[in-house]
Structure 1
Amino acid sequence: MEKWFVINKGADFAGIAKRFGISPVTARLIRNREVMGDEAIARYLKGGIGELYDPHLLLDSDRLTDILVQKISEQKKIRVIGDYDIDGVMSTYILYKGITRCGGSVDFQIPDRMKDGYGINDHLIEQADEAGIDTIITCDNGIAAIGEIAHAKSLGMTVLVTDHHEIPYTEERGERHYKRSEADAIVNPKQMECTYPYKNLCGAAVAWKVIQILYEKCDIAVEESYDFLENVAFATVGDVMDLTDENRILVREGLKRIHTTMNPGMRALILQNKLEPEQISSYHFGFVLGPCINASGRLETAKIALNLFLQEDVKKASEIAAELVDLNAQRKDMTAEGVELAMQQVEEGNTGEKVLVVYLPDVHESLAGIIAGRIREACHKPTFVLTKSEDGVKGSGRSIEAYSMYEELCKCQELFTKFGGHPMAAGLSLPEANVEIFREKINACCGLTEEDFIPKIKIDIPMPVDYPDIPLVNELLLLEPFGKANVKPQFADKNLGIDRAVVVGKNQNVLKLTLKTERGKSISAVYFGDVEEFREYYGRKYGENEVQQAFLGRTNGIRMSVVYYPEINRYQGNESIQIVIKNYQ
C-alpha cells in the first residue's frame, strides 16, 4: 500500500511568479525542490557556465595539478586508473584526453570487474610498476584504497587521487575517525577540510575540474575544456547524482553540447539506439545510453566503451556502438532471470527481514546491483544481492530513503574483505562463511519501523487533470533536467470516471484511458505500468463486470484518483494535452 501526501511548503508564490515571469504553479514547484531566495531561483532557472564554482576551491586541486605539470614537463609516464561504470569511463576519458592535450606521456587502465573488482588494487599497481609508470592518477575511485596506495608509494610511485565517494572512517564510542591514504594529493569535495561549496559532484565532474586548472597552468584556453561537458553531464546522470545546484548547470550545459556533438563515438551510440543527437534528454542518459556503457563493464570490459569515445573512425565507432547495444540486450535478459530468482527467494523465506539479503551464487556478479534495485522497488526494503565470485562472495545493495546503507555497513565491517558506497547504494566483498552472519547482523542493527517500508508518493500540487494547458506544460520544461533530487513534478486529482479504457502498444503493455472529471470534462490519459494489475485492482474494488464495461467503452461505476504529469501529445500536426498516470488508487 502506498501513502500519498502533498508537499506543503509556503512562500509568496505570486511574488516569485511576477519577479521571474513564470506561473504561480511553477513557482510552487521550485519551492518544493527546496530552491529558496531570488539568487538561487535565478541560478535554478537560468544558471550557466558563468555560475559554476571555481575549481581552485577544491582542496589539493592546485597541489595535484602542480605535480601533473611537473610530471608532464619531465615526460614521466602517467597512468590514469578509472572504474568500469559510466562515471569511471567518462572520468578516465576526460583525464586521459586532457593530460594528452597538455603534452603528457599518459595511458590508462580500467579494472576488470571480475578479475580486479572495483578501483585501484595491488595487481594494477604492480602492473604499472612493471610498465615503468612514474605517476598513477585515479578517478572515480581511490579514496578508500589506503593499503593499495601505501603499496604504490613503497614502490616509489607518485599517487594522485581524484574521487567523489564517501571518506572511509572508523567509529569509536560514537566518534568518527576519518582515514587518509599516503597519496601525494587528494581531490574529493567530500573531504571534511574541503571548502568547495558543492559536495555532490560525480567522479567525472571532479576530473573535469582538475583538467580546467591543468589547462590554465599549461596556457590552454579554458573554453577548450568545455568540450568535456557532454561527458560530465552523461556521468552525472548515469551515476544518479543529485540534479541540484552545480550538477544542474553541468547537465544542462552538457545536453546543449550533446545535441551537436562532434564525438564519433557519442554520435554512433545515439544513432545505434535509433535516436538523434538533438533528441537527447537526461532520461536518455539514464535509461537508454548509460546502460549500454555499463553493460560493457558488466559483461565484457569497460575498455570497449572507453575505446568508443576515443574512436575517430566513424565506421569503427558504429561497430563498437552496435556491440554495446547487443551487450545491453543480453544484460536485460540475464537481469530478468536474476530478478525472477531473487523474488522467488524473498517470497519463500526472506519476507520477515527488514533488510533483504538475497544470495544468488550462480547469477553474474555484475548484475547484483541492478537486481537489488528491482527487488528494492518491488518490496520497498533495503536490499543486498550477493553472488559467488572467484575469491568469495561479492554483492551490491540498494537502499530506501530512511536507511543509510554505507553507515549501516560500517557497523558490520569486520565481516567484509572490502566495502564502500553511498547512503543509497553500496558494494561489498566477504567470505562465503560470513553470508548468514551478515544477514543476521545487518538485520539486528536495523532500526527501521513498519512506517519506513510504506512507499511515500509525494504530490507537488493537487490539480484538476483538465487544468494544465499547452503554455503551462511548455513552461514546466524550465524545470528540466529531471533526475535524482529534481524529479518530474507530480500532480494529483480524484473522483475521476473512466469513459473508455483500451490496451495498445506492440506488446499490448500500454493502457490508454479517456477520463471524465466531476465537471464532465474529458481528458486523454496513458499508463505505462502493469495493465493486468490495473484490471485486477479495480476488479477487486468494483467487480469484474464494471472493469469489463470500462474496457468496452460503456457506462460504469469506477472512480479513480491519479498521480500524474501532463504532456503535449503531437499527432498529425495537432497538439493536445494528455496526462501520464504514475500512480492510481
Structure 2
Amino acid sequence: MLKSKYRWDLPKLDAAEVAELSAGLKVDRLVAGVLAGRGWKLSRETSDFLHPGEDQLLDPYGMKGMSAATERISRAIRAGERIRVYGDYDADGVTSTALMIRLLTELGAIFDTYIPHRSREGYGLNIPAIDLASQAGVKLIVTVDNGISAVEQIAYAASIGIDVVVTDHHEPPEKLPDAVALVNPKQKDCPYPFKGLCGAGVVFKLAHAMLGRPVLEYADLAAIGTIADLMPLVGENRIIARLGLEQMRRLPIPGIRALSKVASVKHEEMSSGRVGFSLAPRLNAGGRLEHADTAVRLLAAADIEEAERLAEQLDRLNVERQELVEITTAEADELWQDQLSSQGAGRGRNVIVLAKAGWNAGIAGLVASKLVERYYRPAIVLATDAATGLCKGSARSIDGFDLHAALTDCADLLDHFGGHQAAAGMTLSVNLVESLAERLHEIAGQRISEEDWQPKRRVDLMIAMREATIGAVDQLASMEPFGNGNPTPRVVMRDVVIRESRTMGKEGAHLRVTVEQDGRSIDAVAFGMGNHRERLEPGIRIDVLGELSVNEWNGNRKVQLMLQDYRSEHLFVHDRRGERDLWSALDSDLRETTVAGSVVCCASPSVYAEAVGMYGHRGAIVCLYQDLNKKDAQTARSDLEAEPGDLTQMAATSERGVQAMEGIRHLILAGLPQDAEHVRSLRRRIAGNIDLERITVFSAGQGSRLASERASRVEAFPDRKQFGEVYALCRKKGSWLESPDGFQLETAQKTGWPLATIRMMHEVFIELGFILADGASRKIVAEPPRRELDVSPRYRRAREVAEGQNLAVMTSEQLERWLRDGHAGMPL
C-alpha cells in the first residue's frame, strides 16, 4: 500500500447533468464534468463564464460612492489642486498606484504618489504622512488599496484642510471614516453586485467611470493586482484577468515587458500562473526589503531602458528575498526542532509559534507558509525588536482552522492584529509570545478535527486515460484564467501501471513517470518529487492525482499529467528467488537510501547471523520470523551460529527491529517460512499494515531445488471444489461407522488424496455441522447450516500447516496472490 500525502476530496457527479452540460454547451465531457462538480448549471451565466468579454463588465456607477469620488477628483483637476495618490507596498497596492498614475496623467491632473515604508510606517494612512502631504500643498488624497479603516487619520486630514477619497476593497469596519467619498463594493449598503474586486480592480472601475468607457488598456495592471492578491477569478475578476492577460500577451507596456524578461517569461505566453509565480514576487520584493516606489516607477515607465534597469533592480531584490527566506526558514526550522525536543515525546504544539531577533518582518508570512507546507500545522513567525520589546510578524493557517477567529480569542495578548481565516498579521509584546503559543495550542486542539491534520486536495473529475485527449485538454483552456476561486482542474486516474520512472533536473530533484492503462500511456511529471523514485518502481499499480496539460516539443503536442499525489492499495511483490547469490541481490535491494523503513526477515538463524553482520552497521533491521510480531525487545538467541562478540550486535539489531516494526514500508524476506508457526507470524505482520508498500522475496538457499520440487510435488492441500467432491461422497453414503479400513480409506482410494487429508476433511465437516458424530457412528445432517470452510479451526490449522510446507515452492503468481491476500486481511 502506498499512502497519499493528501486527503482526496473526490467528486460525486450526476451523469445526466454532465451529459446535459456537454451537449448544451458543446464541450467535452472533461469540461462538462469540471463545471458540474463546481456547481455550474446549463444557463446563460455558465455560457458567459466560458466566454467572458468586455460586454459583461458592470456599470461602475452602481458602486456606492463612485459618483462622489469622480465629482471630487474632477473638481480637483479643474481647479488645478495637487492630488496625492496614497498606495500600499504589495503587488495590489503598486498596481493600483500605477493605474491611478495612468488615469490622472490622461486626465491632465497635478499629482504625485506616496507609499508608506513597510517596516517604518506600516500599512495604511498615517498622520505623519498626512502632515507631509499638507506641507507639499496637497488638497486631495486618493487612497488605493487602503483607507477604509482610517477613521482617525481621515478626520485629521479634514481638520487641516485635506479631503480624502477612499478606494479600497478590504472588509469595512463598523465605524467608517468620514471621507468625501468611500468607494468599496464591500460596504454593507453598496448595491454593486460583485464584491470580489481587488484594490486595482476598484481603480479600474474608477477609470471606467471617469473616462466614460471600459478602459481595456488598463486591464493589464488590474489583472496583475487581481491575481497577485489571490482574488477569486470569477465574475468581473475573471473578465478583468482575461482581458488583462490578452493585453499583456499582445501589447505589453515597457514595465511588463522588462519584468517578463528578467523572469524568463515570454510575454506572448503570459498566464495567471506566470503572473502569480514570476511577476508578482518581483513586484512584492521592493516593498518587502526596501521600498515599493521601485515597482511603481517600473509599471509607470514609458522608456524600455529605464524599465529594464528597474526590473533588474527588482529581480536582484527578489533573489535577495529568496535567499533571506531560505535562511530564515532554516533558522525557524531549527528553532521548531529545538522546541519539539524540549517538549518530549509527541507531535509538539498544535500551532508553530516562533520569534527571534534579527528576522525581517517583511518576509515573515513567506516563512510561515514554508513551515505550514513542511509540517502542515498553523504557523506564526515573529521578528522581535529589543528596543521596543515588541515583535511583529505574520501567520498562515491550514484548512479547518480559522486563524482570525483564534486570534480574536487571544486579543488580550495582542497589541494589534488583523487578517482572515487563512492569513493574519500581528504585533505583541515579546514577553507574551509563550502565552500566545500555549493558548493557540489549546484552541487548535479543540477546533481541528483529526482528518484536518492531513492536507486536502479537491478533485474535479475521475477519468480513464483514454479520455485525456489533446482536444479535451485544449477545451479545458476555455476555463482559464485559473487561480483562486477557479483553480486549475484536478483529475484522478485509477489503477494505472508504472511502465517507467526516472529522475530529471539538477541533482535528480524532479520525477518523470510513464504510466499506462488499457494499452495507452501518458507521462506524469512531478516537480520536487525526485526522492519518490524508489517508491514508484515499474510494475506498481497506482492511482494518480494531478493537472492535465499539453507538452509541446519540436512541433509535437502530447498530453501530460502534472503529478501532485499518488496512492495505491496494491502491495508490490517482487519475486527474486531466482537470484543465485543472495547477498549480492540483497545488496542491490538494500541500498543506503532505502535502509529506513526496511526490515530483513530471515528464515534461519544462520542467514540471520550473516545478515546482521553485513547490514547491522548500516542501521538495517534484521529479524527472524518468530520475532516479527513481538512487542518486547529481543535478546540474541543462544542457538544462533555466531561468535560471542556478534551476539551483542545481534541483540541490539533485534531491539531496534522491534521498535521499528510498526513503520515497515519494505519487507525483505531472506528465505520463506517453512512451518506453520512462522507462516502465521508472517501473515500477522503483513495483515492490514497500511505502511507496508512492497515485499521482496529471496530464496536464501532454497532456489536451487525450486524447479525440481515444483515439478515433482503435488498440491498438498485441497481447494473448496475438492472439499465439495469429498462431501458429495459423504452425502451419497449417508451414514457409516468409522474404522481404519472403512469409508475414509475408500474415499482416499477414489479421490487420490492421502488418508490423513481425508480424515482432516471429515473433521472439518463435523466442526461445521455437516456431519453428526456419535462415538464411531457418522451421519450426514439432512439440512446443514450454510458455513464457509474457514469458520472451522481445524481447516485453518491444516491450511497453515500445508502452506508452511509449500510456501517456498509456490510459483511467483501463487506467492504474490498469497502475500496480497494476507495484506488485505483475507482469511487463510
2:196 to 200, 210, 214: 200
Give the match for residue 391 of structure 2.
Answer: 393
**1:138 partnered with 2:143:** yes
Give the match for residue 531 of structure 1.
Answer: 530
The answer on whether the counterparts of 1:35 and 1:44 sit within 8 Å (CA) in structure 2 is: no
**1:426 partnered with 2:424:** yes
d(CA) in 1 for partners of 2:439, 2:154: 31
Which structure 2 residues correspond to residues 116-515 of structure 1 after superposition, within 5 A?
A: 116-168=121-173, 178-216=174-212, 222-223=213-214, 225-349=215-339, 351-389=347-385, 391=388, 392-446=390-444, 447-515=447-515
CA-CA distance at 1:63 after TM superposition: 1.3
d(CA) in 1 for partners of 2:418, 2:182: 18
1:2 to 3, 6, 9: 6
Structure with higher Rg: it is: 2
d(CA) in 2 for partners of 1:210, 1:27: 36
d(CA) in 2 for partners of 1:130, 1:369: 35
Give the match for residue 543 of structure 1.
Answer: none
Q: TM-score, normalised by structure 1?
A: 0.90
d(CA) in 2 for partners of 1:127, 1:9: 60
The answer on whether the counterparts of 2:414 and 2:429 sit within 8 Å (CA) in structure 1 is: yes
Check 1:98–1:486 CA distance in 2 against 1; reply closer, same or farther (3 A cut).
Answer: same
The answer on whether the counterparts of 2:493 and 2:545 sit within 8 Å (CA) in structure 1 is: yes
d(CA) in 1 for partners of 2:251, 2:458: 36
Amino acid in structure 1 at the alignment position of 2:530: V
The answer on whether the counterparts of 1:298 and 1:367 sit within 8 Å (CA) in structure 2 is: yes
Q: Secondary structure at the match of 2:80?
A: coil
The answer on whether the counterparts of 2:17 and 2:36 sit within 8 Å (CA) in structure 1 is: no
1:92 to 85, 91, 97: 97
CA-CA distance at 1:324 after TM superposition: 1.1
Q: Secondary structure at the match of 1:106?
A: strand
Q: Secondary structure at the match of 1:353?
A: coil
Amino acid in structure 2 at the alignment position of 1:4: W
Check 1:357–1:565 CA distance in 2 against 1; reply closer, same or farther (3 A cut).
Answer: same
CA-CA distance at 1:284 after TM superposition: 0.7
Q: Secondary structure at the match of 2:186?
A: coil
CA-CA distance at 1:444 after TM superposition: 4.2
d(CA) in 1 for partners of 2:85, 2:96: 9
CA-CA distance at 1:482 after TM superposition: 0.8
The answer on whether the counterparts of 1:299 and 1:366 sit within 8 Å (CA) in structure 2 is: yes
d(CA) in 2 for partners of 1:179, 1:408: 23
Check 1:343–1:248 CA distance in 2 against 1; reply closer, same or farther (3 A cut).
Answer: same
The answer on whether the counterparts of 1:33 and 1:485 sit within 8 Å (CA) in structure 2 is: no
d(CA) in 1 for partners of 2:542, 2:496: 5
The answer on whether the counterparts of 2:416 and 2:426 sit within 8 Å (CA) in structure 1 is: yes
Amino acid in structure 1 at the alignment position of 2:9: F
Q: Secondary structure at the match of 2:211?
A: helix
CA-CA distance at 1:443 after TM superposition: 4.0
Give the match for residue 103 of structure 1.
Answer: 108
431-440 or 468-477, which deviates more: 431-440
The answer on whether the counterparts of 2:87 and 2:116 sit within 8 Å (CA) in structure 1 is: yes
d(CA) in 1 for partners of 2:402, 2:40: 24
Q: Secondary structure at the match of 2:291?
A: coil
d(CA) in 2 for partners of 1:307, 1:437: 44
Give the match for residue 64 of structure 2.
Answer: 59
The answer on whether the counterparts of 1:399 and 1:405 sit within 8 Å (CA) in structure 2 is: yes
Give the match for residue 595 of structure 2.
Answer: none
d(CA) in 2 for partners of 1:162, 1:313: 29
d(CA) in 2 for partners of 1:249, 1:126: 39
d(CA) in 1 for partners of 2:210, 2:438: 49
Give the match for residue 544 of structure 1.
Answer: none
Check 1:507–1:326 CA distance in 2 against 1; reply closer, same or farther (3 A cut).
Answer: farther
64-73 or 391-400, which deviates more: 391-400
Question: How far does the alpha carbon of each residue in 1:341-399 deviate from its partner, in whole angstroms, 9 at most, with x for none?
Answer: 22233333265333332223322111111111122222332322111257532111222
Amino acid in structure 2 at the alignment position of 1:568: V
Question: How far does the alpha carbon of each residue in 1:163-218 deviate from its partner, in whole angstroms, 9 at most, with x for none?
Answer: 111223xxxxxxxxx121222221111111112111111110011111221223xx
The answer on whether the counterparts of 1:99 and 1:211 sit within 8 Å (CA) in structure 2 is: no
d(CA) in 2 for partners of 1:228, 1:493: 42
Structure 2: state its 5+ residue gaps: 341-346, 568-828
Amino acid in structure 2 at the alignment position of 1:479: M
The answer on whether the counterparts of 2:147 and 2:167 sit within 8 Å (CA) in structure 1 is: yes
Give the match for residue 27 of structure 1.
Answer: 32
82-91 or 188-197, which deviates more: 188-197
The answer on whether the counterparts of 1:465 and 1:579 sit within 8 Å (CA) in structure 2 is: no
493-502 or 455-464, which deviates more: 493-502
CA-CA distance at 1:35 after TM superposition: 2.8
Aligned pair count reads 552
Give the match for residue 552 of structure 2.
Answer: 570
The answer on whether the counterparts of 1:269 and 1:321 sit within 8 Å (CA) in structure 2 is: yes
Give the match for residue 541 of structure 1.
Answer: none
Check 1:450–1:149 CA distance in 2 against 1; reply closer, same or farther (3 A cut).
Answer: farther
* Structure with bigger RCO (C-alpha 8 Å, 6+ apart): 1
How much identity, in percent, do the aligned residues show?
A: 34
d(CA) in 2 for partners of 1:565, 1:512: 14
CA-CA distance at 1:161 after TM superposition: 1.1
Amino acid in structure 2 at the alignment position of 1:451: E
Check 1:404–1:209 CA distance in 2 against 1; reply closer, same or farther (3 A cut).
Answer: farther
Give the match for residue 521 of structure 2.
Answer: 522
d(CA) in 2 for partners of 1:535, 1:503: 7
d(CA) in 2 for partners of 1:441, 1:132: 49
Amino acid in structure 1 at the alignment position of 2:378: P
The answer on whether the counterparts of 1:201 and 1:241 sit within 8 Å (CA) in structure 2 is: yes
The answer on whether the counterparts of 1:116 and 1:123 sit within 8 Å (CA) in structure 2 is: no
Amino acid in structure 1 at the alignment position of 2:245: L
CA-CA distance at 1:445 after TM superposition: 4.2
Cα RMSD (Å): 2.0
CA-CA distance at 1:520 after TM superposition: 4.3
d(CA) in 2 for partners of 1:444, 1:189: 37
Question: How far does the alpha carbon of each residue in 1:6-56 deviate from its partner, in whole angstroms, 9 at most, with x for none?
Answer: 122436222221121101221120122233341221111002111112111
CA-CA distance at 1:499 after TM superposition: 2.1
Structure 1: state its 5+ residue gaps: 169-177, 217-221, 539-546, 551-555
d(CA) in 1 for partners of 2:322, 2:416: 27
Give the match for residue 84 of structure 2.
Answer: 79
